[in-house]
Amino acid sequence: MKKKLVSLLTVSALSLSVLAGCSSSSDSAADVASSAEEAAEEAVEEKTEEVADAVEETAAEVTDAVAGGDLADKKVGVCIYQFSDNFMTLFRNELESYLVAQGFSADNITIVDGANDQATQTNQIQNFITSGVDVLIINPVNSSSAATITDLVVGANIPLVYINREPDADEEQRWEDNNWNVCYVGCDARQSGTYQGEIIVDLGKDVVDLNGDGKIQYIMIEGDPENVDAQYRTEFSVKALEDAGLEVECLDDEVGNWDQATAQQLVANALSAHPETEVVFCNNDAMALGALQSIESAGRTVGTDIYLVGVDALSEALEDVIAGTMTGTVFNDHFSQSHSAADAAINFLNGAGNDHYIGCDYVKVTADNAQEILDSVK
C-alpha cells in the first residue's frame, strides 16, 4: 500500500517535471514557480492567522479566568439606607445581579439594611471593616455623616463607592485632595427637578392655571430634607416654572420622607385646606402614588382639574402616566447607576481607579414616552 503511494507520487512528480520541461517557453516555468510561491505564501498567511487567533483566544480566556477568579474571591459590603424604600429596592436588586454577572460570588456580596438610622449603619460599616471586606458600596442614611464614614473606611484602606445620596462638595474635595479611593455614583438632582417643572410648563399656562388667576398654585411634598435630591428637586421644579415666566404660589410644603403612606396623609390634608391646588409636586414616585390616592378620594381628576408629577419612573407610576392618572415622572435610571457603581468597585479592586464623581442622566417621562420607558425597565 505504502509502496503504491510512493510510486504514484513519483509518477506525478515526473509528469509535472515533464509538463514543465515540455513547455518551450521559459514564461510557463516561471508561471508555475510563481503560482507555487503564491500558494505557499497563502498557506503561510492562513496558518499565521490561525495561530494568532488561537493565541488571542487563549489570552482572553486567561484574562477572564484571572479576573473572574479574582472577583469571585473578593468580598463586597453594601449598605442601603433603608430596604423598604421602593427605589432603593430596584437599585439594590439590580446591583446584586450585576455584581454576580461581573464575576463576584453571590456568597461574597453582603447587603445590609440601615433601617434609616445612621448609628445602625455606622455599626454595620464597622462590622464590614472588621470582617475584612475588599470594597464597600454605601448609600448613606445621612449624607452629612459622609466625612465620618469616609474616615473610617479610608483608615481601614478599603475603597469606597457612595451611591444615591451625594455627600457635599467639601467632602468630595477631600477625596480629590488626598487622592483617596473614594467616589460617588449618581445623578444630578437639579436635572430631575427641572424636568418636573418643564413637564408642567409644557402643558401651557392656560391649561395649568385652572382658576385663571394668573398664578400656578401648587403643593410640594418633599423627601428627606437632609437629602440633596429632595432639596434640589424642590428648588428646581419651581425654578423651571419661574424661568418660563409663570407666577407661582406655594400653598403647602411638607416633608413626606420619600414615603407613600406619609404623602397620602399630607396630600389629603393639603387638598382639603387648599382646594384651589392646581399642581402637586412630589420629590419621588412613591409619594406621588400616595398623593394620587388622596387626589382620587377628594374627587379630583388628574389631567382635568389637577396635575401631578413625581420622580423615579416606578412601574406603577409609569402605568399611571400611560393611563393619564399621573401627569408625568422622571426616570431615575437605577440600571445605569447600579452598573456604574459596580464597575467603579471593580476599577478600585483592579487598581484602575475612578473619577471622584460618576454621573448619570435623568429622562423626562410623559404620556409620549412612558410605554417605551416601561418596556425598558421590565
Binding site for ligand BGC (CB under 6 A): 85, 87-88, 164-165, 223, 227, 229, 258, 284, 286, 311-312, 332
CB of 337 to ligand BGC, least distance (A): 9
* CB nearer ligand BGC, residue 88 or residue 241: 88
Q: List strand residue ranges (DSSP E) for the chain, in order.
A: 76-80, 109-113, 135-138, 160-163, 182-187, 215-222, 247-255, 279-282, 307-309, 329-331, 357-360, 363-365
CB of 143 to ligand BGC, least distance (A): 9
CB of 330 to ligand BGC, least distance (A): 9
Q: How far is Cα 200 from Cα 221, in angstroms, rounded to an integer? A: 16
* CB nearer ligand BGC, residue 88 or residue 208: 88
* CB nearer ligand BGC, residue 198 or residue 312: 312
CB of 271 to ligand BGC, least distance (A): 22
| The residue to which cell 411634598 is assigned | 221
Q: How far is Cα 297 from Cα 307, in angstroms, rounded to an integer? A: 15
Sequence-separated (6 or more) residues with CB below 8 Å from residue 235: 190, 193
Q: How far is Cα 58 from Cα 320, in angstroms, rounded to an integer? A: 52
* CB nearer ligand BGC, residue 71 or residue 263: 263
Max CA separation in the chain (angstroms): 113
Nine cell digits for residue 370 = 412612558
Taking the CA atoms of 321, 325, 328 and 329 in sequence, report the sign of the dihedral they define.
negative
CB of 162 to ligand BGC, least distance (A): 12
Backbone angles phi, psi at 100, to 5 degrees: -65, -40
* CB nearer ligand BGC, residue 134 or residue 224: 224
* CB nearer ligand BGC, residue 96 or residue 333: 333
* CB nearer ligand BGC, residue 172 or residue 188: 188
Q: How far is Cα 280 from Cα 69, in angstroms, rounded to an integer? A: 51
* DSSP reduced 3-state for 133: coil
CB of 292 to ligand BGC, least distance (A): 15
Q: What share of the chain is helix, strand, coil (3-state, %, to 5)?
A: 60, 15, 25
CB of 312 to ligand BGC, least distance (A): 5
Nine cell digits for residue 48 = 499565521
CB of 88 to ligand BGC, least distance (A): 6
* CB nearer ligand BGC, residue 222 or residue 229: 229
Amino acid symbol at 183:
C
